[in-house]
A and B are shown apart, each in its own frame.
Chain A
């Protein structure tokens, strides 16, 4: 019984042969480059780094989706804090702003709240007057009037 494949491969022309790779160095170095910022043996040892990297590659797509949610939550939290300072409510604020036609998203509202607090206060005042004008609920009727906002109903 002769093993013909081995013999044929041995006498194959060089342009038909696959290049033989006997060195794993380059593959390992390529992975260790990716784990360069990790700590300890995960940075230096291939066996440990492979395990860490497989886990990282599982986390990455999951956290990409989580990141956008977390950032949106952060913006909402910032707006909530700023609105509560002026004695108003977050849900009422957002709904009244959209009714006024002010289509600012959470990102811009939170940047305003942090870097331009006076502007944000005027937006809260606008929402409060809109709520008073709507007068749907008890809260709407009982909100205190604010200066500095003129509406069509007043004129």
Chain B
């Protein structure tokens, strides 16, 4: 299981994915979008809200203050407002390729709705999916993977074991006798 999670980034195999039940696809863009003029892929927004309930307070504030500015800023997007009693406030966004996205904005503040609208506007119409890489690579770096003899001196190939130098304990700090020798050396040099 851990192995699968690690390999999914480096493998092109479609069957190694984080969750095989969810959509998996290569990265796509709307045809020729960006080659000439950029076309906003968002076609229309339908905002359904209740005129009375507290869930829709943020939506109502957004409609009163920021909606007109936003729609003037994005002239390619059609905005429909549907007041519906006793229903949760909802945004339904439809894209040029026919996909639609339903989102509840219950108890969202005006600012949050603006943030979400930015996100929905920037999307292409393709559904959210795990992206596969079109480039297949088994070993992702030129250095080559680690193997046990990588950081070992090659002299070990021609040495006899047991090897005293390799087998010695390597202390972090100098031992007591080494410290005494150091102190003696310092005294001698100062004298």
Contact = CB atoms under 8 A, between A and B. Distances in A.
Interface of A: 67, 70-71, 74, 82, 85-87, 111, 113-119, 121, 138-139, 142
Contacts, number: 37
Interface residues of B, number: 17
A115 B140 contact: yes
Interface of B: 1-2, 5-6, 139-141, 143-146, 150-151, 170, 172-174
A71 B2 contact: yes
A108 B139 CA distance: 15
B173 A119 contact: no
A115 B139 contact: yes
B2 A116 contact: no
B170 A67 contact: no
Given A85-B151, A138-B173, A142-B172, A114 B2 contact: no
A106 B17 CA distance: 21
A117 B173 contact: no
Contacts of A70: 2
Contacts of A111: 6
Given A82-B146, A85-B151, A139 B172 contact: yes
